[in-house]
Structure 1
Amino acid sequence: MKQIFAYETIEQYQKNIQTTRYFVDKLEIYRQLLEKEYELHDIPKAIVWTSEEIATNIFSNVPIPAYTNKDSIYMNPNLEDWRQLFLRQLEDQQHFEIERYYKTISNDHIFCILAHELTHHSDLFLDEFDDDRMDSIWFEEGMCEYLSKKLTLNENQFNEIAKIELELIHLFRDKYGKHSLDDFGTASYESESLTSIMYDYWRSFQTIKFLVEERSNNNVHHVFEVYHRWNKEGRKVSLTQYFSLENFLNTL
């Protein structure tokens, strides 16, 4: 993949170049794992490294400075920017444990975001980048969240972030949790609320975690098999119905 730098000043480039190199080296290892185990055949042509402002106001209007399309991944590599973004998820609510966690996350946690974007390019996912992506986006987003965290973080790190995001779900359930997970679609990104967007990511991750670890005895590929069977049978019911997730989702 080409490495493209889109900053307004040389100082921004210099501030982030060491982290960028660290991410590129880690991504090469992760890429090889996806190619071996998760049907990654075509990788993006480039990663565009840029600032949060440019990522969310020029290249896109989504308030999350990491995303991908068929040809490129766009990524802000700056750790402090991500710490502040994650703290904004609290919407000025005070929660000591969550605040402590996000104030101390490392570049390994930020790398999960980059790994998530590459995971989207796996051919195990059914929808193409130019599809409307309306009826199963939770599966793809949740699986990208799950694999990028499970395969790159250590066990303690993985368990900690799962705990924090579950607490966030509980914290914002009444405000953002009234719609079906199946409603998580392309239109969800049009919301002006960062937290409302992230809420569906948290739910999707927890749902995939449940399907893999509780339903499938840690067999990720079995979960993919059910997902593909749902598609082959014509998507006659929603994907959450097909996985019989109603009782689980009611516990979130």
Structure 2
Amino acid sequence: MKSILAFETSKEAFTHEELTNEMMGKLISYQQHLEQHFQLSTLPKGVIWTNDLLATTTFSNIPIPAFTREDFIYMSPQLEVWQSLLVSQLESKEMDEIHAFYENFSEEHLFIILAHELTHHIDLFVDEFDDERHDSIWFEEGMCFYLPRKFCLSEAEFQKITDIEQSLVNCFVEDYGMHSLDEFGMASYKGSVSSIMFDYWRSYIKVKSLIEYADGNVHHIFSLYKEWHEKGREIPLTKYFEESQK
């Protein structure tokens, strides 16, 4: 994959060149893992590294500066921007430990976001990039967090981020309710940062719980997802998984 620096000045590009090179080098190992185990057969043409303003106003109107399309991954490498954005998720909630974690959000966790975007390209997901995605966005988004975290983080780091996001779900449930994950769609991106991330947190927690119920067999969960799709998506995916566990 190409690494493309798309900043407004050469000085800004130079500032981020070292980090983006490190990220791209590290991505090779995860890419190979996906190719060997999760049917990554077609890579995007490259990663377009850009600043948060260009990512969210010029290249898209999504308020999160990382996303993927069929040909390219777009992402901001600005660690301080991510730290500020992630802290803003907490709004006025008093969550000192989580606040401190996001204030010190590391390059390692920034890499997980990049790996998340690459995971969207595996062939095990049945929706295509140009499809009008519905019904199962939560599954894809949750899995795109689970796989890189499980492969790239230590067990302690994996458990910590899981505990943080479970705490956030518990904290914000009164604000945003427990609507069905099957409703996760483009409308989910129209609220505040915390309301947007609420469904991401829930999706990750749900996928993790499904895999744990399957004794860690990720491919079994993918097979049920594919089965649901091939049967015509007659019932919501969340309900299909629930009935498969009976």
Q: TM-score range by the shorter chain?
A: over 0.9
Shift of 1:150: 0.9
Match of 2:134, SS state, is: coil
Q: How does 1:1-252 map to 2 (within 5 A)?
A: 1-189=1-189, 191-213=190-212, 215-244=213-242
Aligned equivalents of 2:186, 2:142: Cα separation in 1: 14
Q: Which runs of 5+ in 2 are unaligned?
A: none
Aligned equivalents of 1:39, 1:106: Cα separation in 2: 29
Aligned equivalents of 2:64, 2:152: Cα separation in 1: 21
Query: What TM-score, normalized to structure 1?
Result: 0.94
Which amino acid letter does the alignment assign opposite residue 226 of structure 2? H
CA 1:10–1:89: 2 relative to 1, 3 Å: same
Shift of 1:92: 2.9
Shift of 1:186: 2.5
Match of 1:19, SS state, is: helix
1:92-150 CA-to-partner distances (Å, cap 9, x unmatched) read 32210111111122101000000000000000000001111110100000000100111
Runs (4+) off by over 6 Å: none
Tell me which residue corresponds to 1:250: none
Match of 1:157, SS state, is: helix
Shift of 1:222: 0.6
Q: How many pairs does the alignment contain?
A: 244
Which amino acid letter does the alignment assign opposite residue 40 of structure 1? L
Match of 1:148, SS state, is: helix
Which amino acid letter does the alignment assign opposite residue 127 of structure 1? D
Match of 2:128, SS state, is: coil
1:183-213 CA-to-partner distances (Å, cap 9, x unmatched) read 0013322x14111111100000000000111
Q: RMSD of the alignment, in Å? A: 1.3
Shift of 1:11: 2.4
Paired residues of 1:55 and 1:74 also in contact (CA < 8 A)? yes
Paired residues of 1:52 and 1:76 also in contact (CA < 8 A)? yes
Aligned equivalents of 1:92, 1:65: Cα separation in 2: 23
- With 172-181 and 30-39 compared, the bigger mean Cα shift is at 172-181
Which amino acid letter does the alignment assign opposite residue 130 of structure 2? D
Shift of 1:78: 1.6
Paired residues of 1:90 and 1:195 also in contact (CA < 8 A)? yes
Paired residues of 1:132 and 1:186 also in contact (CA < 8 A)? no
Which amino acid letter does the alignment assign opposite residue 166 of structure 2? L
Which amino acid letter does the alignment assign opposite residue 193 of structure 1? S
Query: What TM-score, normalized to structure 2?
Result: 0.96
1:25-61 CA-to-partner distances (Å, cap 9, x unmatched) read 1111111110000000001011100001110111111
Aligned equivalents of 2:174, 2:55: Cα separation in 1: 30
Indicate the percent of aligned positions where both proteins have the same amino acid: 50
